[in-house]
Amino acid sequence: MTDWAAIKADFPVLKQTANGAPLVYLDSGNTSQKPQRVIDAMSNYYETINANVHRGSYDIAVKATDAIEGARQKVAAFINAPSSIEVVFTKNATEALNLVARSWGGANLGEGDAVVISEMEHHANIVPWHMLASEKGFELRWISVKDDGHLDLSNLDELLDGAKLLSITAMSNVLGTLNPIHRLAEAAHAHGALIAVDGSQYVPHLATDVQAMGADFLIFTGHKMLGPMGIGVLWAREEILEAMPPFLGGGEMILNVTKEGFTTNEVPWKFEAGTPMVAEAVGLAAAIDYLNEIGMDEVRKHEVELTAYALRTLKERHGDKITIHGPSEPAERGGVLSFVYDQVHPHDVAQVLDQKGICVRAGHHCAKPLLRTLGVPATSRVSLYIYNDESDIDLLAETLTEASDIFSF
């Protein structure tokens, strides 16, 4: 049995008050909090072995290099990648998606081609494709989202016909919807397309196996999985990375430079120009250790139970006053609940909650096409993680009543 109260106690931020009330953090889809162990691992790195990597010949430089390469191996094992050389460190998921677009897309897409995405993508998986499409002239096709929060896959074959890439989120950051990645990968491959999976909301919350998914690319971001800001991951199959041109140029990514040109380093370093984020990699490795000790199946179980409790409690307490978007079945979704409450603007909801120390996000959640489909300009969004419990949901449900008292007419 996991001691969830002991886990919560590992997060120093949660020991504070905000506006005079104990801080209740319900915004982990935005960024997660960090356990003391991650903070200590990063401080310890700076206190003991800080040095630039891959180029130093002295003791602490070797240790720093071992630290970043050890972190790479840990990331590879966490997603069941066949090899750690398939793991590229980036600044965040956004940079990883831009890397796929600029490098793979730049080399492989042109007029007459198509890339398929969905209406539930984060802007990070939309804008890079818009930018490239306007230069290269390929078509961007959209999988629609149904009223129940699931993808409309009725015309999937039509959309994939002639497409070179399906780039899609494994879990929506607005609806919580878990998408059928294995099925989508099979469909993409049957049409000769590759599949890039945006795992930013999925990898922190569910056991991830890139091989079982059938993915060609997986993108995620360290700060949503208890790790630090400033590190993201692009995983891709080795032969795909080998064939891709470099993304950014400079130090680290070359084998040789002459007045006439340069030769590129081996993968993954070919894609890691300049000094990398060593302390952040150490922090991410500590976060992975922490999650592994709990067990990703336990993490998921806790979140399904808490999501079920939240859906039930909010409905019981607020009935028709609250509209919660996304799948109604907790097993088909993650712990992300976007809602509209009693004609109160989501920013007003967030402000009232803030007065009680409750942190939620209000706005379009960087998913404007989806919000247009939902027919709302903004929602309030609660997103759960391992340090949340039923008391957080109870306080949320109770405080919402105050928003209604103040703002509804």
Ligand X SMILES: Cc1ncc(COP(=O)(O)O)c(C=O)c1O
CB of 131 vs ligand X, minimal distance in Å = 15
Query: Which residue among 366, 378, 384, 386 is the active-site one?
Result: 366
- As beta bridge partners, residue 289 has none
| Residue 49 or 97 having the CB closest to ligand X | 97
CB of 126 to ligand X, least distance (A): 10
CA 365 to chain centroid: 13
Q: How many whole angstroms separate alpha carbon 58 and alpha carbon 55?
A: 9
User: Least separation, in Å, of the C-beta of 17 and ligand X?
Assistant: 27
- The percent helix, strand, coil of the chain (3-state, each to 5) is 45, 20, 35
Nearer CB in complex with ligand X: 124/156: 124
User: In the bound complex, what is the minimum distance in angstroms from residue 21's beta carbon to ligand X?
Assistant: 26
Q: For residue 2, what are the contacts with CB-CB under 8 A and spacing of at least 6?
A: 294, 295, 298, 302
Distance in Å from the first CA to the final CA of the chain: 46
For residue 280, the minimal CB distance to ligand X (Å) is: 12
Give yes or no: 359 in active site: no
Between residues 176 and 395, which has the closer beta carbon with respect to ligand X? 176
Residue with tokens 């818009």: 130
Query: Given phi > 0 = left and psi -120 to 50 = alpha, else beta, which region is 101?
Result: alpha
Of 293, 299, 289, nearest to 71 by C-alpha is: 289
Give the span between the Cα atoms of 95 and 84, in whole angstroms: 19
> How far is Cα of residue 334 from the mean position of the Cα atoms in its chain?
12
Give the residue with the Cβ less far from ligand X, 232 or 330.
232
What's the min distance (Å) between Cβ of 170 and ligand X? Answer: 8
Counted residue by residue, the chain has a size of 409
Nearest to 268 by CA among 200, 226, 217: 217
Q: Which of residues 236 and 395 has its CB atom nearest to ligand X in the complex? A: 236
DSSP string across 225-282: TTS-TT-EEEEE-HHHHHHSPPSS-SSSSEEEE-SS-EEEPPTTGGG--SS--HHHHH
In whole angstroms, how close is the CB of 220 to ligand X at the nearest point?
Answer: 8
Backbone angles phi, psi at 146, to 5 degrees: -85, 170
Question: Whole-number minimum distance, CB 377 to ligand X, in Å?
Answer: 18
Q: Which is nearer to ligand X, 204 or 342 (CB)?
A: 204
State the Cα–Cα distance between residues 105 and 333, nearest whole angstrom. Answer: 30
Looking at the Cβ atoms of 200 and 265, the one nearer to ligand X is 200
Which residues form the interface with ligand X (CB under 6 A)? 92-94, 122, 124-125, 169, 173, 198, 200-201, 221, 232, 366
Q: Which residues pair with 358 in a beta bridge?
A: 24
Contact 132, 101 (CB under 8 A): yes
Taking the least distance from each CB to ligand X, the nearer of 124 and 358 is 124
Q: For residue 406, give the H/E element and its range.
A: helix 390-407
Place of tokens 């803030």: 354
H or E, element range at 164: strand 163-169
Active-site annotation, residues: 366
